[in-house]
Amino acid sequence: MFAEVIIDQDAKALDKVFEYIIPQDMDLQVGMRVLVPFGKRQLQGFVIKIKDNCDYDSEKLKKIIEKIEDFAAIKGEMLEIMNFMAKKFHLKLASILRLFIPAEMREGKVKELFETYYCLSKNAQINISKSAKRQLEVIEELKNGEKSSSYLGDKYGYAPLKALVEKGYIEKEKRETKRTPFVIAQNDKRVNLNEGQLDALRRIKEDKTYLLHGVTGSGKTEIYMNLIEKVLQNDKNAILLVPEISLTPQIMSNFKSRFGDNVALLHSGLSAGERFDEWKRLFSGEARIAIGARSAIFAPLENLGIIIIDEEHEGSYISESNPRYDTHSIAQFRARFNKCPLLLGSATPSIESYQKAKNGEYELIELPVRANGKSMPPVQIVDMMEELRRGNSSIFSNQLIADLANVINNKKQAMIFMNRRGFSSFMRCRECGFVAKCINCDVSLVYHKEDNRLKCHYCGKQYKVLAQCPNCKSKNIKYGAVGTEQIVQKLHEIFPDVKILRMDNDTTSTKNAHQKILDEFRNTKPCILVGTQMIAKGHDFEDVVLVGIVDGDQGLYQTDYRSSERTFQLITQVAGRAGRSESEGKVVLQTYSPKHYVYKFASNYDYKGFFRKEINIRQTAGFPPFTRLLRILFSDFDENHVRDLLKVCYNEIAMLKEEYGDQIIYLDAMKSPIKRLQDKYRYQIMMRLKLEKADEIENKCFEIVNSASKNWVFFEVNPQNLS
């Protein structure tokens, strides 16, 4: 018998199937990891096929040395996913297979944890002298059932245990124990579902994709839980994906409370041991619901009854580091494979997904009102240009300060939100609000400090830095953003006696820091919480009556076609934090572009209006979902080498234009905005394609690049971030 093996190595040359002889006495299964001879080395690999005949000369084939584990870590469905991903995202096979098992398992760093348990021996005539007090205590303790060695050892010492075993009074047994992440389980709170929720439950049952568009607080989570409950009753399993940022203790506790040990959590806050054990609990069928961030889509569950992606619009569902993939397509693949529903939920669906719902590709389900009947808090737009004209050049408007003072007097709470995604900064005139844009692409230009120039991240065009506003001639034209730290400091000056907390990447780098800040906020009144994206999601604070958005434009003039969409999503999300319970809420949104359509629609919570406007703009400008953007990223330590490679590939790809004509809307080669990363020089080919032939052209490009390069080259479709 022979095995097809994929070598677990990074080299491009090894990224193919190798054949090995299976030793006579080896009980090998597809999906097992093995050690194989390779040249003079011994390498690890994955068995992807077992067969009777080999394709190469069997005389020359070598034998598999041994199995690494005794079980097949990769199940049949995963091999299908591997093939799908390799084709769709142009990835190396080994790099895909690695996604399917915990990293620690490959490195051999974690193993099962075994623990010894003691119990009373059956039928033993126990006769212990009164002086052996500890031994008597252990016996008493064990009358209530078995206890672990570490527990007993801590309490009574190990000597009495040993003595009792020798006398045959107690027995020990070694067993695997699971390291489970600690979650506070509360009482499971059941609610009576409303008509909208019941309707959703009735509809979501077929083998297709549903888009659940429900405003914040409309009870989507409750729907997820009910759907999963039904799935378990039908003896099937479920995957729930949430963005890492909203894997809050709150949501985990909700699910643990209802589903107990059926839930396995997969997120970055776990220790290596915990992650390994949670994975194994899923693998063995002990846990049947995988909840986690994007990589949980690879949960080792079979027989799926539903896959749910919450906050489906979140950019974090696209993996932007290698291997690059987008979670939606994999979820769709798995759902079709298992013939089960895929549910995408959001208060602000991505333009792409909503368009698919409009086209009938997805089934749209709407929940237009909050479950508690409360209306969304009113949004007041404050024109910061007007503030400037009135002589207020601080980062806070008079309105925001007045509202904050009010909150403080009433011993309530406020959140101040600062959007600071990415590092790029745009140039803006402080007098008239003018923002420098690319003449070709209509996206804001990015200021590049190192060569003091403005650049378009889509077409590469460069512009001189503006000394003066072309619109109003003012010299007060600046780039850069205010940070959370600066906001806290200014607030301290204005409200010296008020507790002000800060939550951003800097203050939450240590374990549990996140939770500590939130706990402190919960217990302090009055209090102001200043934060980034992190405060935008999933937190339910009853006494937050004011949300301030310091600089709404910060996201708006980011340099990509999704800027408006992201800004709309963020404002809606942040606004959803205010007035969640009895107290009335309010949102103050500061902007230098008060007339921008994003603010008009966001302040009215008008998603549909926003969608209509935005989809029109995308169509006119020729951006996704009407076209496909493709970035081919080359990187290497040797700059000359990348540049040569880029040139060769570019020339060949340019020849495709003859065949495909205007199917290729745009094609150019350039340095990447981040020219050097981890010591590697980065160059890129940017393309914009019409959808009709996009797959075909993309595949041809891949063939060209793949045969020209000795290293792996990365393809990105509609990238979230063009750095």
Which of Zn ion, ligand ADP, none binds 78 (CB below 5-8 Å, type-dependent)? none
At residue 385, φ and ψ (nearest 5 deg) are: -70, -40
For position 426 contacting Zn ion by CB under 5 A, the verdict is no
For position 456 contacting Zn ion by CB under 5 A, the verdict is yes
Centroid of chain to Cα 73: 24
CA angle 79, 82, 84 (to 5 degrees): 115
> Phi/psi class of residue 452: alpha, beta or left (left: φ > 0; alpha: ψ in -120 to 50)?
left
For position 248 contacting ligand ADP by CB under 6 A, the verdict is no
For position 132 contacting Zn ion by CB under 5 A, the verdict is no
Instruction: Give the DSSP H or E segment for 640.
Output: helix 639-660
What residues numbered 172-201 form the site for ligand ADP, per CB under 6 A?
A: 191-194, 197
Which of Zn ion, ligand ADP, none binds 295 (CB below 5-8 Å, type-dependent)? none
> Please, which residue, 251 or 456, has the CB nearer to Zn ion?
456
Residue 584 has a CB neighbour count (10 Å cut-off) of: 11
Q: How far apart are CA 354 and CA 615, in angstroms?
A: 10
> Please, which residue, 387 or 636, has the CB nearer to Zn ion?
387
609 by Cβ neighbours in 10 Å (0-12 / 13-18 / 19+) ranks as middle
Q: How far is the CB of 214 from ligand ADP (least distance, A)?
A: 5
Residue 153: name the closest of 165, 143, 144 by CA: 165
Q: Which of 214, 433, 526, 673 binds ligand ADP (CB under 6 A)?
A: 214
Residue 218 has a CB neighbour count (10 Å cut-off) of: 24
Q: How far apart are CA 147 and CA 162, in angstroms?
A: 14
For position 722 contacting Zn ion by CB under 5 A, the verdict is no
Q: How far is the CB of 294 from ligand ADP (least distance, A)?
A: 19
Which of ligand ADP, Zn ion, none binds 441 (CB below 5-8 Å, type-dependent)? Zn ion
Long-range CB contact pairs, 640-644, < 8 A, 24+:
642/681, 642/682, 642/683, 643/681, 643/683
> Please, which residue, 413 or 484, has the CB nearer to ligand ADP?
413
Q: Which amino acid is at 668?
A: D
Which of ligand ADP, Zn ion, none binds 371 (CB below 5-8 Å, type-dependent)? ligand ADP
Residue 478: name the closest of 520, 426, 405 by CA: 426
Listed ranges 216-224, 614-622, 625-633, 681-689: which one lies at the site for ligand ADP (CB under 6 A): 216-224
> Please, which residue, 290 or 347, has the CB nearer to ligand ADP?
347
Listed ranges 169-177, 217-225, 322-330, 492-500: which one lies at the site for ligand ADP (CB under 6 A): 217-225
For position 440 contacting Zn ion by CB under 5 A, the verdict is yes
Residue 73 has a CB neighbour count (10 Å cut-off) of: 21
What residues numbered 339-398 form the site for ligand ADP, per CB under 6 A?
A: 371-372
Which of Zn ion, ligand ADP, none binds 216 (CB below 5-8 Å, type-dependent)? ligand ADP
Q: How far apart are CA 463 and CA 448, in angstroms?
A: 10
For position 219 contacting ligand ADP by CB under 6 A, the verdict is yes
Residue 144 has a CB neighbour count (10 Å cut-off) of: 7
For position 468 contacting Zn ion by CB under 5 A, the verdict is no
For position 217 contacting ligand ADP by CB under 6 A, the verdict is yes
For position 620 contacting ligand ADP by CB under 6 A, the verdict is no
Listed ranges 219-227, 239-247, 523-531, 675-683: which one lies at the site for ligand ADP (CB under 6 A): 219-227
> Please, which residue, 191 or 665, has the CB nearer to ligand ADP?
191
Q: How far is the CB of 440 from Zn ion (least distance, A)?
A: 4
Length of the chain: 723
Q: At what angle do helices 220-233 and 249-259 cross, to 10 degrees?
A: 30
Instruction: Kindly state the tokens that stand for 489.
Output: 């400091």
Which of Zn ion, ligand ADP, none binds 471 (CB below 5-8 Å, type-dependent)? Zn ion
What residues numbered 510-569 form the site for ligand ADP, per CB under 6 A?
A: none
For position 220 contacting ligand ADP by CB under 6 A, the verdict is yes
What are the Cα distances from residue 473, in Å, to 282, 431, 469, 529?
A: 63, 9, 5, 38
What are the Cα distances from residue 427, in Å, to 60, 447, 567?
A: 65, 7, 18
Residue 302: name the closest of 339, 256, 253 by CA: 339
Number of residues counted as binding Zn ion (CB under 5 A): 15
Listed ranges 49-57, 83-91, 167-175, 215-223: which one lies at the site for ligand ADP (CB under 6 A): 215-223
Listed ranges 84-92, 127-135, 209-217, 242-250: which one lies at the site for ligand ADP (CB under 6 A): 209-217
Residue with tokens 């004209």: 389
Which of Zn ion, ligand ADP, none binds 474 (CB below 5-8 Å, type-dependent)? Zn ion
DSSP state of 443: S
What residues numbered 221-240 form the site for ligand ADP, per CB under 6 A?
A: 221-222
Q: How far is the CB of 620 from Zn ion (least distance, A)?
A: 16
Q: 527 forms bridges with which residues in the sheet?
A: 413, 499
Q: Which of 216, 246, 564, 635 binds ligand ADP (CB under 6 A)?
A: 216
Number of residues counted as binding ligand ADP (CB under 6 A): 15
CA angle 130, 131, 136 (to 5 degrees): 60
Residue with tokens 């408007």: 397
Are 306 and 238 spatial neighbours (Cβ–Cβ below 8 Å)?
yes
Q: Which of 2, 298, 417, 434 binds Zn ion (CB under 5 A)?
A: 434
> Please, which residue, 343 or 528, has the CB nearer to ligand ADP?
343
Q: How far is the CB of 471 from Zn ion (least distance, A)?
A: 4
What is the DSSP code string of 68-118?
SSSS-SS-HHHHHHHHHHHHHH---HHHHHHHTS-HHHHTT----EEEEEE
Listed ranges 185-193, 439-447, 541-549, 568-576: which one lies at the site for Zn ion (CB under 5 A): 439-447
For position 50 contacting ligand ADP by CB under 6 A, the verdict is no
Residue with tokens 């600089």: 551
Which of ligand ADP, Zn ion, none binds 221 (CB below 5-8 Å, type-dependent)? ligand ADP
Q: How far is the CB of 602 from ligand ADP (least distance, A)?
A: 17
Q: How far is the CB of 543 from ligand ADP (least distance, A)?
A: 15
What residues numbered 469-488 form the site for Zn ion, per CB under 5 A?
A: 469, 471-472, 474
Q: How far is the CB of 213 from ligand ADP (least distance, A)?
A: 10
Q: How far is the CB of 720 from ligand ADP (least distance, A)?
A: 23
Centroid of chain to Cα 472: 42
> Please, which residue, 372 or 620, has the CB nearer to ligand ADP?
372
Residue 170: name the closest of 155, 182, 178, 160 by CA: 160
Q: Which amino acid is at 526?
A: P
> Please, which residue, 243 or 323, has the CB nearer to ligand ADP?
243
Q: How far is the CB of 362 from ligand ADP (least distance, A)?
A: 18
Which of Zn ion, ligand ADP, none binds 472 (CB below 5-8 Å, type-dependent)? Zn ion
366 by Cβ neighbours in 10 Å (0-12 / 13-18 / 19+) ranks as middle
- Please tell me whether residue 602 adopts helix, strand or coil conformation: helix
For position 438 contacting Zn ion by CB under 5 A, the verdict is yes
Listed ranges 75-83, 211-219, 381-389, 652-660: which one lies at the site for ligand ADP (CB under 6 A): 211-219
Q: Which of 95, 218, 484, 593 binds ligand ADP (CB under 6 A)?
A: 218
Per DSSP, helices labelled H in 366-525 are 384-389, 398-409, 484-494, 513-522
- Please tell me whether residue 702 adopts helix, strand or coil conformation: helix
Are 591 and 553 spatial neighbours (Cβ–Cβ below 8 Å)?
yes
Contact residues: Zn ion, CB under 5 A? 429, 431-432, 434, 438, 440-441, 456, 458-459, 461, 469, 471-472, 474
Instruction: Tell me which residues touch ligand ADP (CB under 6 A).
Output: 191-194, 197, 214, 216-222, 371-372
